[in-house]
Structure 1
């Protein structure tokens, strides 16, 4: 038994609609990849400009500047407010970033958060090395960022971030607080300090054996262009298939003539 023409047309129309929807989704995915490529190219240009820019001196009168620009600040370390940023790997080895506020010389109640470097995660029974810095005035050089680089956590989905900062400093157990991500506003509330609206990734230096090898963002725009080309290819295939099916509906093939029955004798 063959399907009726109406039923066949309905199935074809459903297929056409689905193909058009698939093509639209693929087009949007391709446009998103082009947008990501543009963002990465702009980021690469900003980083290149920062490398050749003059160094800024950060203080209360000059509290911020563009990302990736070199900067320096003078003050003394506030070791009691050091925070460990967890799950920061270096060349596949698990470890922590060490973040310590630097109280500015001219305005001691104003601080700059400095990402001092990376330390490997110790395996029990080993413990972390002494991460305290020497007392006295220091000048710290580094690269400015508008915030502490984030890594994925469930809070980015739920909107509820786990800061895990102690209610009082130093922590009662004497251990340094560990967090996955750190916002300046959270650290400001926990410490009572006023922070400059930037952070500083410290340049390579001798600091408690820490490693200042900061992973930069991915700048491979070519990869995004390749993905965009693939998505646009998928969209083209889907839309051409929809066009062909539409043509078949409006231009059905004529049925072949039935053979005549042989004459009876």
Structure 2
């Protein structure tokens, strides 16, 4: 015969683990819900017609908004973001300033992906830049991502291949007036660049996984207390 023996100290420890597991599981669930809401907002924004980007536009309020830019590329200031593979191929992302028509403001545009220059990895691969005034489409981004920087970053100069890029640093190096945001070009301007931009990594699945783990900890702690509380015999002091 089995009887249950209540033990105050193990019960207190179990109760603490259950409360902790449920609380942290709920928190991870809220984080997942918040990021799902962001994902739905981004999907809704991507379905909206592109907005004409004005020089006075607030980049923070336009984050992830589809926009149209009219102006011209500054062909003398191309730079590239290194270590940006695409479909298993090594390559770079070409970034160039785009001067908005009727303004001195420049927007750093991620034009697209290029395969690495096999002849000289320290040189930009060949690419074409449409001349004159044109209208392009893209998505406003607060950053173009950030990769771990090993050692000193390469100095910003025309044709530089760098790991990361900052709008303020680019403005200081180029002497151009640069907006504090970026645009990932999506429309085709006849240059042959690849533009398979990855979707923003929101980490919803990570939070859902952590939520399951914390709930599982709470359940296992409760089950362990119950199972180990039963023992053979009718004498609870045995």
Q: 30-39 vs 46-55, which deviates more?
A: 30-39
Q: Does 1:122 pair with 2:135?
A: no
Residue in structure 1 matched with residue 154 of structure 2 by the alignment: 164
Task: Determine which structure has the larger helix proportion and give its number.
Answer: 1
Q: 1:5 maps to what in 2? A: none
- Contact residue 168 and residue 180 of structure 2 kept, 8 A: no
Q: 1:224 to 1:63 in 2, by over 3 A?
A: closer
Q: Give the whole-Å Cα distance in 2 for the aligned partners of 1:227 and 1:197.
A: 35
Is the alpha carbon distance of 1:47 and 1:187 closer, same or farther for their aligned partners in structure 2, counting shifts above 3 Å? same
2:101 aligns with 105
TM-score by length of 1: 0.70
Q: Say if 1:26 and 1:234, in contact at 8 Å, map to a contact too.
A: yes
Contact residue 50 and residue 68 of structure 1 kept, 8 A:
yes
In structure 1, the residue matched to 2:72 is 76
Deviates more, 1:35-44 or 1:217-226: 217-226
Distance 1:68 1:243 in 2: 51
Q: 1:141 to 1:29 in 2, by over 3 A?
A: same
Question: Which structure shows the bigger proportion of residues in strand conformation?
Answer: 2
Match of 2:182? 199
* Whole-angstrom distance in 2 between the partners of 1:134 and 1:201: 16
> Tell me, which stretches of 5 or more residues in structure 1 are unaligned?
1-8, 156-160, 171-175, 256-265
Instruction: Determine if contact 2:136/2:187 at 8 Å carries over to the other structure.
Output: no
Answer with 1 or 2: which has the greater Rg.
1
C-alpha distance in structure 2 between counterparts of 1:111 and 1:121, whole Å: 26
Task: Give how far 1:113 is off.
Answer: 0.9
The 1:225–1:103 alpha-carbon spacing in structure 2 relative to 1, beyond 3 Å, is: same
Point out the more displaced range, 18-27 or 212-221. Answer: 18-27
Aligned in 2, Cα 1:247/1:82: closer, same or farther, shift over 3 Å? farther
For residue 78 of structure 1, report the CA deviation from its aligned partner: 1.3
* CA deviation after TM superposition for structure 1 residue 94, in Å: 2.0
Distance 1:88 1:35, change over 3 A: farther
**Structure 1 residues 219 and 52, CA, compared in 2 at 3 Å: closer, same or farther?**
same
**8 Å CA contact 1:63, 1:197 repeated in 2:** no
* Equivalent residue number for residue 3 of structure 2: none
Shift of residue 95 of structure 1?
1.3
The secondary structure found in structure 2 opposite 1:117 is: strand
For residues 199 and 152 of structure 2, what CA distance do their matches in structure 1 show?
Answer: 24
The answer to whether the 8 A contact 2:53-2:67 is kept is yes
Larger relative contact order, structure 1 or 2 (CA cutoff 8 Å, min sep 6)? 2
Do the aligned partners of residues 164 and 34 (structure 1) sit closer, same or farther apart at CA in structure 2, a change above 3 Å counting? Answer: farther
Residue 90 (str. 1) matches residue 86 (str. 2):
yes
Change (3 A) 1:48 1:238: same
> Does residue 192 of structure 2 align to residue 209 of structure 1?
yes
